[in-house]
Amino acid sequence: MNRRSSGGWRRLLGWDRHPAHTHHDRWWEETRRRLLPAYVEDTIESAIPPEEVTKIAIRLRYLIEECIPCEMEEEVITCSHSKVITRNVVQAAREAGGEEYKDCVVYCLLICKRWFWHQGQIELWDADMHNVRSTACEVIAKLIIESEENTEYLMHAVLLKRYSILVDNEPTLPSNVIEKAVDLHALRVIGSSGYQKCISYLWRGWLVQDENDPASFVDYKDRDNTSFFSHLDPDRMRAPMYQNAAQVLFSILYLVLFTIAINTINRSGDLDGVEIVLYLFTFGFLFDEIAKVWKAGYYILGFWDAFNSVLYSLLFVSLIMRFIAFSKEPSDDPNVKGPRERFNELSYNFLAVSAPMFWVRLLLYLDSFRFFGAMLVVLKVMMKESVIFFALLVVILIGFLQAFIGLDIAEDLVLSDVTFIVQAMANAVMQSPDFEGFEQFGHPFGIILYYCFTFIVMVVLLNILIALYNSAYEDIYDNADDEYLALFAHKTMQFVRAPDENVFIPPFNLIEIFCLAIPLEWWMSKRTYERINDIVMAILYSPLLLIAAYFETRTAYEILGNRRRGDEDDDTVEEWEQLDVNGAGVDFEADGWKKAVEKVKPNVEDELAVVEVRQLRAEVTELKQLLETLLKNSSGKSAQETTGEQSSVSDLITT
């Protein structure tokens, strides 16, 4: 895929229009500051002085500017064994921080990527060059990550340590490479093996926040503990994997409750147990949405927040209709609907209308599966691409609507056919135009205008929408793996970026709010309050904790087995590795297979023409040395012998 061509739709989608990319760095950092708990905000510091981090970023910027002095094709930068991003360039970037500050080089490359992107936005005449430089930052960062063999150093020092730079002579809120790559949608960095290993450890809960310093991460100490009871810890619910599992479980239960409620209508208007639990779930989800806005402000609101808000609004309207029905007396005649029955029926109508949204909402919690994750990315892109279509459509609609209203007023001196006009225009948009009604409407102008409107909408605008959808689909699926990995990394960071001290997933957050926080937190000591929270969480999550402890115990045995073989903790033995594990491995060097392969393997680093030229150059050098040797020896020989040797050399050259 030509990634250069995809830059436009990324900017259109707003992925590269993130506030962190613009000159409003201070505004965005203050916004993100509210994502972190108060006790983190006061203690978080950069692992390296911000002045040094800024200097290293400027050095890397200068390096990339010198390596890419002019506009060039993006494939020249991104291809394997690039002639621009060479091993020497990568090594120079790695040494930009010296031995003391080498940990922050990858972070500084992401900072340079943001700088170049921003420069491309304000200097449109050199946008292509700056975008290529931005891509080069990603390529170098990925190569540095994948070349690091020390996994512990990579995850704890390079990817998870927090750094900050100076903006307006003030340090920004420290962040790490994992967060910064997600914020910048740096697909190449996110798709690197080391980054994904770190995300996998965070997802499983093998890397957890330090209790004394939640801004840093430490290894989960009981990862290799085979004791079942050691894993029965309510704090394990902080692991994104278990939080996601709980959310999926509660979402399915929420859908089941709705299905039962909509299929067991209470004619009397009374609330049954299923409906009460359904509305309690809704209150829990609503409080969770409010808490997110309270912590981070309205800046974090997105499509799913708006979608959920519409769903919860419909449910609350249904509940209000039910309460109004309670206030009315039931009808004495069973064949006649009184106010109570009408409001009760209206309540169930609102409940039924929300059914499609209940099922679509389930997709929000299934994006950890690759199929649903990739499809959600496509849908998200398509909906954002639709903005162009609807912007054009609104302008066309307003213009033609005003024309039809003008014809209506001119004909009857009153506005009498608004409903007919709006319905006919809506039918045309839905590809079902009605031409008969306009034959006598402002004849002949009405039918001419309607033909023009139908042509513009059905032929022009709808084909533009189809083309946009097709482009979005191809762009995403040409890069589906990286897009899914980016989505998964974003989901993981949602759980670990701003962790709660106690994880109460809706609707359990109602218990936290009304049974713990309001009556106890304001007067109870922190230690006692935390103890009570752990007990409540252990009771609430006991079924899930038992299942998690069982799987973690099995995983602990696998980890110990991997360590005995000298493998990584998350390694798995594949079919082609089983022979080596059983102690009957194949020795390629002993049976001569390694030597045979060395003879036939191709040189993929250099082009064939370059290899041939190098070979010819070596032969010419050898021939030159031979000639020099012959000339030296001929000085002491007779003319006849010299002539014979020269003839031999001529024959050799000819050959």
Residue 350 has pLDDT above 50, yes or no: yes
For the segment 376-387, the average pLDDT, to the nearest whole number, is 79
Cβ contact 56:108 at 8 Å? yes
- Proportion of the chain above pLDDT 90, given as a percent: 35
For the segment 86-101, the average pLDDT, to the nearest whole number, is 92
Cβ contact 306:383 at 8 Å? no
Query: What was the pLDDT predicted at 646?
Result: 55
For the segment 490-504, the average pLDDT, to the nearest whole number, is 78
Query: What was the pLDDT predicted at 144?
Result: 95
Residue 199 has pLDDT above 60, yes or no: yes
DSSP 606: S
pLDDT tens for residues 117-143? 999 999 999 999 999 999 999 999 999
Cβ contact 492:420 at 8 Å? no
Query: What was the pLDDT predicted at 584?
Result: 64
Give the pLDDT band of residue 9 (cuts 50, 70, 90). Answer: very low
- Residue with the larger pLDDT of the pair 527 and 334: 527
Q: What are the residue ranges spanned by the domains of the chain?
A: 3-217, 240-366, 371-492, 601-638
Query: What was the pLDDT predicted at 156?
Result: 92
Query: What was the pLDDT predicted at 14?
Result: 39
For the segment 556-580, the average pLDDT, to the nearest whole number, is 83
The lowest-confidence range among 178-192, 528-542, 565-579 is: 565-579
Q: What is the 3-state secondary structure (H, E, C) of 495-557?
A: HHCCCCCCCCCCCCHHHHHHHHHHHHHCCCCHHHHHHHHHHHHHHHCHHHHHHHHHHHHHHHH
pLDDT tens for residues 577-626? 777 766 666 778 888 888 899 888 887 777 777 778 888 888 898 888 88
Residue 303 has pLDDT above 80, yes or no: no
Residue 648 burial (CB count, 10 A): 11
Q: Which of 389, 386, 408 is nearest to 456 (CA)?
A: 389
CA 35 – CA 38 distance, rounded (Å): 9
Residue 464 has pLDDT above 80, yes or no: yes
Q: What proportions of the chain, in percent to the nearest 5, are helix, strand and coil?
A: 70, 0, 25
The lowest-confidence range among 352-356, 383-387, 548-552, 602-606 is: 602-606
The lowest-confidence range among 130-139, 327-336, 394-403, 610-619 is: 327-336
- Residue with the larger pLDDT of the pair 28 and 387: 387
User: How large is the C-alpha radius of gyration of the chain?
Assistant: 34
- Mean pLDDT over each residue of the chain, to the nearest integer: 83
- Tokens describing residue 548: 């998690």
- Residue with the larger pLDDT of the pair 364 and 62: 62
Assess whether the previous peptide bond of 507 is cis (omega < 30° from 0): yes
DSSP 156: I
Q: Which helix (H) or strand (E) holds 166?
A: strand 166-167
CA 242 – CA 540 distance, rounded (Å): 14
CA 497 – CA 491 distance, rounded (Å): 10
Residue 6 has pLDDT above 80, yes or no: no
- Tokens describing residue 82: 């690039």
Give the pLDDT band of residue 653 (cuts 50, 70, 90). Answer: low
Give the pLDDT band of residue 480 (cuts 50, 70, 90). Answer: confident
- For 260, how many CA atoms within 13 A lie in the half-sphere containing its CB? 15
The lowest-confidence range among 95-109, 204-218, 230-244 is: 204-218
Query: What was the pLDDT predicted at 62?
Result: 95
Cβ contact 48:163 at 8 Å? yes
Query: What was the pLDDT predicted at 404?
Result: 87
Q: Give me the DSSP letters along 350-371.
A: HHHHTHHHHHHHGGGG-TTSHH
